[in-house]
A and B are shown apart, each in its own frame.
Chain A
Amino acid sequence: MISPYPAVTLIAVLFGALTIAGGLVWAERRLLALWQDRYGPNRVGPFGLMQTLADMIKLFFKEDWVPPFADKWVFIMAPAIVMFTVLMSFVVVPFAPGIIISDLNIAVLFFLGMSSLGVYSIVLAGWASDNKYALLGGMRAAAQMLSYEVFMGLSLMGTVLLAGSFDLVDIVNAQRHMWFVVPQFLGFVLFMIAGIAETRRLPFDLPESESELVAGFHSEYSGMKFGMFFVGEYIGILLVSSMITVLFFGGWRGPVLPPIVWYFIKTCFFLGFFILLRAALPRPRFDQLMAWGWKLMLPLSLANLLVTGAVKLAFFH
C-alpha cells in the first residue's frame, strides 16, 4: 500500500515533520505558559506563531563554535545522527492509507532499531565535548536510554502478538474493531513511559538536567548544532506520539473525518499530554529512574507479554 507518488510523500513527510516540530516548540511554550498562568511568546506574528522562525534566524546567526578541546569530527557528527535517526523512523509511520513512505514488514523493529541508534548521538555528543558535565549527561543518557529501550521493545510485543505482524499498517488494520489500548492498557502505559525516557523529555530529562549539569550532553553546543539537538528532540516527541497513535489508538481510523485528520487529532492529543507531563512533574533522581526501569517496568512488561501470549494461545487458536 505504497502511495503512487513516493517522492511527493517523502517531501511532504519531511517538511511536515520539520514544520510540526517547529510549531511544537511554539505550542509547548504557549501551553506551558497557559498552565503556569502566563501568556508565553505572543509578540512575533499572530499569537506569537513566528517566534520559532525568529529563534531559528537567531540560531543561524550565532557563532558556529567547536571548542578547541573537543573531538572535532565526532562533535560535528553527533547532532546529525539524532536528526537522521528520528527522521528515518518516520519512514515507517503510516499517516493514512496510502500516505506512508515505506511499508516495511518489520516496521516495529525498524523503529526500535532507529531509536537505539539515536543513543549514539547523545553519548557521542557528551563524549566528544570533553567536558565533565557533558560526559556525565552522556553517561546518564547511555544508561537511561539503553535500559528503557529494553522494556520499550517488550511493551510493544503485546500489540505485535495481537496483530500478528510487525507491519504498522497491519497493526492499524487489526484495530478495526477495538483499539489496542483496551486489551493492552498496561503495554500502552509502559510504552508511553519508555517513549518519554527515550526522547529525554521531562520528567526523564536526566541527560540534560539544567539544574545540575548546565545543559548535560549539549553543554558545549551552540548555534545550529544545538538547534539540531533541539529540533531532534521535538521530532522525537512527534515520533513517539505518532507511534502511540498507530500502535494503541487505531492510527488513522475514525468515523466521518478523513483518515489523516484523525491521525493528526490523536497525535496532537498525545503531544499535548507530553507537554502537560513536562509542566506538572518533577525530575526523579537517577538511581530512582534506573530502579523503576529495571525493578518495576521490566517485570511488568514481561508479565504483560506473557499474559497476552497465554490469552492469545488459549482463546484465539
Chain B
Amino acid sequence: MLSIIRTLWDVFLHAFRKRVTIQYPEQKAYLSARYRGRIILSRDPEGGERCVACYLCAVACPVDCIALQATEDSTGRRYPEFFRINFSRCIFCGYCEEACPTYAIQLTPDIEMGEYSRQNMVYEKEHLLISGPGKYPDYNFWRVAGVKIGGKDKGQAEREAPPTDLRSLLP
C-alpha cells in the first residue's frame, strides 16, 4: 500500500524534470560521424572514383539493394558502369561499408531522405558519388594495390618493392 503511494509521488515529481524530447524539425539530434545514414560513394585524394566494382558490397548486402555493373577504362582501371542503391530496401546495416576493400562506399550521418514517391528512393551513381574522400582522406587504393594499371606499373605502389628480376638471380 505504502509503495503504491510512494510510486504515485515519485511519478508526480517527474513533472518537474527536464524533458528529454528533441523537438525534431526545429532541433536536431547530434549524429556521430560514424552514424549509419545515407550511403555515398567517395573519391580518392586524386579525384578518381574509388570504387573498383568488385561486387563485394552487393554480395554482403542482406537485402540485395545494391546493383552495379563493372567495366574497365582504357588504362585498365576498373570502375562501375552504373551503381544503384535502392534506399527503400536498404536497412542501413553498414555491411556494405565493412565489405568494401577500397573505402569507396561509406555511410554518412544524414537521415533526412523522405520522399513521396518510392521511385525517388532509387539512387543512381550520380546521386551517390561525392567529390571528396569521405571519412578516409588519405587512402588511395590504386596507390597501395599491387595491380598494374595505366600510369602505374608493378612495383611502383607505396611500400612496394620493385619486382624481382628473375634473370638477375641466375648464377
Do A and B assemble together?
yes
Q: Which residues of A contact B (CB under 8 A)?
A: 33-39, 276-277, 279-281
- Judge if B8 is at the interface, Cβ distance under 8 Å: yes
Q: How far apart are the CA atoms of A279 and B9 in the complex, in Å? A: 11
Known: A35-B15, A37-B14, A37-B17. A280 touches B7 (CB 8 A): yes
Cβ contact within 8 Å between B19 and A37:
yes
Contacts of A280 in B (CB 8 A): 7-8, 10-12
Q: How far apart are the CA atoms of A239 and B24 in the complex, in Å? A: 38
Cβ contact within 8 Å between A276 and B18:
no
Most chain A beta-carbon neighbours within 10 Å: one of B4, B8, B11, B14: B11
Please classify the interface of chain B as helix (H, G, I), strand (E, B), loop, or mixed, using the class held by over half of its residues: helix
- Choose one: B11, B17, B23; the contact of A39 (CB below 8 Å): B23
Please classify the interface of chain A as helix (H, G, I), strand (E, B), loop, or mixed, using the class held by over half of its residues: helix
Cβ contact within 8 Å between A38 and B21:
yes
- Judge if B170 is at the interface, Cβ distance under 8 Å: no
The 4 A-B residue pairs with the shortest CB-CB distance, nearest first, are A280-B11, A35-B14, A39-B21, A280-B8
Cβ contact within 8 Å between A281 and B4:
yes
Cβ contact within 8 Å between B11 and A38:
no
* A-B CB contact pairs (8 Å), 29 listed: A33-B19, A34-B14, A34-B15, A34-B19, A35-B12, A35-B14, A36-B14, A37-B14, A37-B17, A37-B18, A37-B20, A37-B21, A38-B20, A38-B21, A39-B19, A39-B21, A39-B23, A276-B8, A276-B11, A276-B12, A277-B8, A279-B11, A280-B8, A280-B10, A280-B11, A280-B12, A281-B4, A281-B7, A281-B8
Q: How far apart are the CA atoms of A266 and B163 in the complex, in Å? A: 92
Q: Which size bracket describes the interface of B in this complex?
A: 10 to 19
Q: How far apart are the CA atoms of A249 and B80 in the complex, in Å? A: 78
Residue ID in chain B nearest A277 by CB atoms: B8
Q: How far apart are the CA atoms of A105 and B17 in the complex, in Å? A: 48
Residue ID in chain B nearest A282 by CB atoms: B7
Contacts of B20 in A (CB 8 A): 37-38
Contacts of B19 in A (CB 8 A): 33-34, 37-39
Q: Which residues of B contact A (CB under 8 A)?
A: 4, 7-8, 10-12, 14-15, 17-21, 23
Q: How far apart are the CA atoms of A211 and B7 in the complex, in Å? A: 21
Residue ID in chain A nearest B16 by CB atoms: A34
12 new A-B contacts at CB < 8 Å, known A39-B23, A280-B8: A34-B15, A34-B19, A35-B15, A36-B14, A37-B18, A37-B21, A38-B19, A38-B21, A280-B7, A280-B10, A280-B11, A281-B7
Shortest Cβ distance from A300 into chain B, in angstroms? 12
Q: How far apart are the CA atoms of A35 and B12 in the complex, in Å? A: 6
Q: How far apart are the CA atoms of A34 and B20 in the complex, in Å? A: 10
Q: How far apart are the CA atoms of A281 and B4 in the complex, in Å? A: 7
Contacts of A281 in B (CB 8 A): 4, 7-8
Q: How far apart are the CA atoms of A149 and B12 in the complex, in Å? A: 29
Cβ contact within 8 Å between B18 and A35:
no
Residue ID in chain A nearest B23 by CB atoms: A39
Contacts of B18 in A (CB 8 A): 37
Q: How far apart are the CA atoms of A63 and B69 in the complex, in Å? A: 47
Contacts of B7 in A (CB 8 A): 280-281
Contacts of A276 in B (CB 8 A): 8, 11-12
Contacts of B17 in A (CB 8 A): 37
Shortest Cβ distance from B97 into chain A, in angstroms? 33
Q: How far apart are the CA atoms of A306 and B21 in the complex, in Å? A: 52
Residue ID in chain A nearest B15 by CB atoms: A34
Residue ID in chain B nearest A280 by CB atoms: B11
Q: How far apart are the CA atoms of A37 and B19 in the complex, in Å? A: 4
Contacts of B4 in A (CB 8 A): 281
Residue ID in chain A nearest B12 by CB atoms: A276
Residue ID in chain A nearest B4 by CB atoms: A281
Q: How far apart are the CA atoms of A39 and B17 in the complex, in Å? A: 12
Contacts of A39 in B (CB 8 A): 19, 21, 23
Shortest Cβ distance from A46 into chain B, in angstroms? 15
Q: How far apart are the CA atoms of A209 and B15 in the complex, in Å? A: 26
Q: How far apart are the CA atoms of A182 and B19 in the complex, in Å? A: 38
Contacts of B12 in A (CB 8 A): 35, 276, 280
Shortest Cβ distance from B6 into chain A, in angstroms? 10
Shortest Cβ distance from A299 into chain B, in angstroms? 16
